[in-house]
Amino acid sequence: MTRIFIDSDACPVKDEVYRVAGRYGLHVFVVANRMIAVPDAPLVERIVVEAGPDVADDWIAEHTQDADIVITADIPLAARCVEKGAYVLEPKGRLLDGDAIGMALAMRNLMTDLRSAGMMTPGGAPFGKADRSRFLSALDTLVIKARKPRPRPLTPPVF
């Protein structure tokens, strides 16, 4: 059964996730290292982890399974979840799948190296109405895709 995990650090689309998950009856885990408000709903579960770098990311990566959906802008977390067969969606609506994650990791590492060398790098565009709309559409499409059985690779017969 598909579940949704929200890396809630500065996630601007939590309300949209709750709405879509409610429509499809999906369990949502909202993971943070501090107490945050979540709806009083049986399928929404707040997970508060210890403070520390990557503790929330580690919890999500450890609990994510094949066909789950993870909402995060954290590229290393996205890579860990994609490796486990999860679908990863950024808050601006970009799907990070096996094809896109390599490029996203390379770009992140390049920007980190440039900043370490003292170069000023441009920040991302502010989150806007179009991003929210794109996210909602992408999440709805992704939920439908995640709930369908995935074809299993054919294995040759053993003689």
Residue 114 in this model has a pLDDT that exceeds 60: no
β-pair type (87-89, 95-96):
antiparallel
Residue with token string 């989150």 = 127
- What is the per-residue pLDDT for 99? 72
Q: Sign of the C-alpha dihedral, residues 3, 58, 34, 109?
A: negative
**Within a domain: 98:** yes
Asked whether residue 106 is assigned to any structural domain, the reply reads yes
Mean pLDDT of the chain: 87
pLDDT in tens, 142-156: 999 998 887 766 666
- Provide the CB-side half-sphere exposure for 113 (13 A, CA): 6
- Does residue 62 belong to any structural domain of this protein? yes
Give me the CATH number covering residue 115. Answer: 3.40.50
Give the residue, 42 or 105, on which the prediction is more confident: 42
In a domain, 66, yes or no: yes
CA 150, distance to chain mean position in Å, is 19
| Chain segment 26-78, per-residue pLDDT in tens | 999 999 999 999 999 999 999 999 998 899 999 999 999 999 999 999 989 99
Residue 7 within a domain: yes
Q: Which domain holds residue 134?
A: 3-147
* pLDDT value of residue 98: 72
Q: 58 lies in a domain?
A: yes
Count of domains forming the chain: 1
* 120 belongs to a structural domain: yes
Q: How confident is the model at residue 116 (pLDDT cuts 50, 70, 90)?
A: confident
Residue 154 in domain: no
